[in-house]
Amino acid sequence: MKKRLILKVKGQVQGIGYRYAVQKEAKRRGFTGYVKNTDAGGVEIVAEGDERDLQNFILFCYNGVVNAVVQKIDESRSEATGAFSDFVIRY
């Protein structure tokens, strides 16, 4: 069953390629959605995909990006809407 996951990543995650690594991993897993920097210095991720894969994706967001220092990830879930056709970086 497809779900939507919204992550607010806090820590040292800007200026180190975090968004590019997240995009690559999300595409590898077949997710749709986006990743973008926030004005507060964090990163927002909206991903739609299989619920089990999304749970593993959270672990990647904590530990899978070299040079990132993730302090906290706030997460919320809902039903997938199918609003996205790809996984992109938003500016």
Give catalytic residue positions: 19, 37
H helices present in the chain, as ranges: 18-28, 51-63
**Cα 50 versus chain centre, distance:** 14
On whether the CB atoms of residues 87 and 26 are closer than 8 A, the answer is yes
On whether the CB atoms of residues 33 and 48 are closer than 8 A, the answer is yes
Residue at 63: amino acid letter: N
